[in-house]
Structure 1
Amino acid sequence: MQPDPVLASYRPPSQLVVDKEIDHLDVHCRAFIGLAPFLTLSTADADGWPEISPRGGDPGFVKVLDEHRLVLPDRQGNNRLDSLRKVAVNPRVALLFFVPGVEETLKVFGTAELLAAEALDLDLTEFGRAPRSVMVVTVQRAYLQCAKAVMRSGLWDPASRIDRDALPPFGTMVRDHCRLESPLPDDATIRAELALEL
């Protein structure tokens, strides 16, 4: 097979970039996960169609069991279960951890297993509730991602924040997506209802 001409136009990665990938969660990965209140979870179905889902909680809501396993609790959501359904047929997952104020991110790759929350002898209660289920990820690769993307985006820079009025209210966007005739509650009411479900 001929090499892709676009890929061929890139220089090879440095040896340091190649070598930073490890097959376990070392002390630095574990510290990063312990401080992270937010991550994105990437999954794919049996045909390879991808899904990405935001997950959040108190810093350290993801629990590290040992250097090869971590636990991701599943909290109250919209019950579409897109990620969970995909893991049930294709266990490969990727997680990208964020720590507010830290411009580097952490990538973790592995295979996941879905378990009932009570299957683990862990206290995973948060916001007064136990999770519906847990995802136990067996880590195969992990590495710290450099800060360039977060630096370019100004993600943690307060000056980069936009006014919420730059977009229509969430209820308006959902109403338009769903082609509803009746208006949805205002955003303050929606957020108050969401807070009750945390």
Structure 2
Amino acid sequence: MMNYGQIAFSDAARALQQEVGSRRTYEQMEKYNVTDGLTDNEVYFIANQDHFYMATTGPNDYPYIQHRGGPKGFVKVLDNKTLAFVDFSGNKQYITAGNIETNPKVALIMISYPHRARLKLYAKARIVQLDDDPALFDLIDPSEYKHRPERMLVLDVQAYDWNCPQHITPRYTTGEIEQAFAPQRQRMTELEAENKKLREELDALKGGHDDNLRRSD
């Protein structure tokens, strides 16, 4: 069973909640906001993401946050408690991978800027080498996306929660803007074609009128 508050709220956080008067609300959250894995809502949300942010902690106790991006749906939901994605080759610093080797606990934030929605997840990460599980690689590799795979990461989800939309500025990708304006562009194309046809008909009428004037002269 998963309970986000029981992981997220330290004793210090609970004391601050008590001090400002929000403890009663979050105490109820800890008692009753219990789930047995991701629901269809989270699965759909994750399947439509093309990026996320992941925090790890290394031996120096400093958290490290890294952006991960790819084609929409590159993070795969294997089941309602397990996510997986291919780790693409990057700048070869390996900070995240190195941190996971010593501390598998990670935190993720996935954001849909157009919908001002934010999903937070706690998970335990496992590094799986490409040759160790070819079947998994075939299942999760975004083959149509240009990339160089280095390893796979499997995330055993421990808890999750949704954030409120406050202070999330709506942002849109080029593809989303193109999709939103597609009906207007189609309508403009139709109007331009209609305008061209009317001009041709007008020119034809004008030409016939000029011919009649010349004959009358």
Q: 2:151 aligns with which of 128, 133, 137?
A: 133
Q: CA deviation at 1:127?
A: 2.1
Matches within 5 A, 1:49-60: 49-60=62-73
Equivalent position of 2:21 in the other structure: 11
Equivalent position of 1:156 in the other structure: 171
Report the AA paired with residue 38 of structure 2.
L
- Larger of the two Rg values belongs to structure: 2
Q: 1:99 to 1:126 in 2, by over 3 A?
A: farther
Matches within 5 A, 1:1-198: 7-12=17-22, 14=25, 18=30, 19-20=32-33, 22-118=35-131, 119=133, 120=136, 121-124=138-141, 125-129=143-147, 131-150=149-168, 154-156=169-171
Q: Distance in 2 between matches of 1:3 and 1:62?
A: 33
Q: 1:80 to 1:8 in 2, by over 3 A?
A: same
Q: 1:7 to 1:100 in 2, by over 3 A?
A: closer
Q: How many residues align?
A: 154
Deviations 1:36-65 (A, max 9, x none): 111000100134221000011111110010
Conserved? CA contact 2:48–2:72, under 8 Å: yes
Q: Distance in 1 between matches of 2:41 and 2:151?
A: 27
Conserved? CA contact 2:115–2:170, under 8 Å: no
Runs of 5+ in structure 1 lacking a partner? 159-198
TM-score by length of 1: 0.68
Report the AA paired with residue 147 of structure 2.
R
Identity of aligned residues (%): 25
Runs of 5+ in structure 2 lacking a partner? 1-10, 174-217
User: As a proportion of its length, which structure holds more helix?
Assistant: 2
